[in-house]
Amino acid sequence: MALKIVRDICTACGDCEPVCPTQSITPFKGVYKIDAETCSECEGDGEPGTPQCLEACMEDDCIVPV
Protein backbone atom coordinates (compact mmCIF):
# COMPACT_ATOMS: atom_id res chain seq x y z
CA MET A 1 0.00 0.00 0.00
CA ALA A 2 1.06 3.61 -0.46
CA LEU A 3 0.02 7.09 0.55
CA LYS A 4 -0.91 10.15 -1.50
CA ILE A 5 -1.06 13.87 -0.84
CA VAL A 6 -4.38 15.64 -1.41
CA ARG A 7 -3.46 18.62 -3.60
CA ASP A 8 -6.35 20.81 -2.39
CA ILE A 9 -5.21 20.47 1.23
CA CYS A 10 -1.41 20.57 0.79
CA THR A 11 0.06 23.94 1.78
CA ALA A 12 3.46 23.13 0.21
CA CYS A 13 5.19 23.64 3.55
CA GLY A 14 7.69 20.90 2.69
CA ASP A 15 7.79 19.33 6.16
CA CYS A 16 7.04 15.86 4.75
CA GLU A 17 9.78 15.73 2.10
CA PRO A 18 12.91 15.49 4.30
CA VAL A 19 11.44 12.85 6.64
CA CYS A 20 10.60 10.35 3.87
CA PRO A 21 13.09 7.46 4.15
CA THR A 22 12.42 6.30 0.56
CA GLN A 23 12.61 9.82 -0.93
CA SER A 24 9.16 9.25 -2.43
CA ILE A 25 7.94 12.81 -1.75
CA THR A 26 8.82 15.48 -4.30
CA PRO A 27 7.59 18.94 -5.30
CA PHE A 28 4.92 18.82 -8.01
CA LYS A 29 3.01 21.75 -9.55
CA GLY A 30 3.31 24.02 -6.54
CA VAL A 31 2.59 21.36 -3.90
CA TYR A 32 4.01 17.91 -3.14
CA LYS A 33 3.31 14.40 -4.39
CA ILE A 34 4.15 10.89 -3.21
CA ASP A 35 5.42 8.30 -5.69
CA ALA A 36 3.17 5.29 -5.04
CA GLU A 37 5.73 2.97 -6.65
CA THR A 38 8.37 3.68 -4.02
CA CYS A 39 6.25 4.64 -0.97
CA SER A 40 6.47 1.90 1.67
CA GLU A 41 4.42 3.77 4.31
CA CYS A 42 7.71 3.64 6.26
CA GLU A 43 7.33 -0.08 6.88
CA GLY A 44 10.56 -1.15 8.52
CA ASP A 45 11.58 2.48 9.17
CA GLY A 46 10.86 4.19 12.47
CA GLU A 47 7.93 3.12 14.61
CA PRO A 48 5.78 0.35 13.15
CA GLY A 49 2.60 1.60 11.50
CA THR A 50 3.61 5.26 11.71
CA PRO A 51 4.44 6.83 8.33
CA GLN A 52 6.88 9.66 8.95
CA CYS A 53 5.12 12.06 6.58
CA LEU A 54 1.89 11.74 8.57
CA GLU A 55 3.78 12.66 11.73
CA ALA A 56 5.32 15.72 10.02
CA CYS A 57 2.19 17.01 8.25
CA MET A 58 0.23 19.66 10.14
CA GLU A 59 -2.86 19.50 7.87
CA ASP A 60 -5.63 17.03 8.73
CA ASP A 61 -6.44 14.52 5.96
CA CYS A 62 -3.74 15.88 3.66
CA ILE A 63 -1.91 12.55 3.40
CA VAL A 64 -4.21 9.59 2.83
CA PRO A 65 -4.01 5.97 1.60
CA VAL A 66 -4.06 5.54 -2.17
Adjacent-strand bridge partners of 4: 64
Tell me phi and psi for residue 64, to 5 degrees: -135, 160
Flag residues of the chain having pLDDT under 50. Answer: none
Confidence (pTM)? 0.90
| CA angle (52 as vertex; 35, 14 as ends), nearest 5 | 65
Helix (H), strand (E), coil (C) string for the chain = CCEEECCCCCCCCCCCHHHCCCCCEEEECCEEEECCCCCCCCCCCCCCCCCHHHHHCCCCCCEEEC
pLDDT of residue 47: 60
> Count of residues for the chain?
66
Domain spanning 1-65: CATH 3.40.630.10: no
